[in-house]
Amino acid sequence: MAFYDWNKDGKKDFQDDFIEYNIYKESTQNNSNNNYNSGGGMSNFGAGCATVASIFIAAGILSVFNLEGAALVIAFIIVVSIVAAIIATFFG
pLDDT at 8 over 80: yes
Q: Which pLDDT tens digit goes with each residue over 23-72?
A: 888 888 765 555 555 556 677 888 888 888 888 888 888 888 888 888 88
- Which backbone phi and psi does 27 adopt, to 5 degrees? -75, -20
Q: Quick one: pLDDT at residue 30?
A: 62
- Per the CB < 8 A criterion, the answer to whether 91 and 78 are in contact is no
pLDDT of residue 37: 53
Q: How far apart are CA 76 and CA 60, in angstroms?
A: 10
What type of residue sits at position 62?
L
pLDDT surpassing 70 at residue 3: yes
How far is 67 from 64, CA to CA, in rounded Å?
9
Listed in sequence order, the DSSP H helices in 4-43 are: 14-28
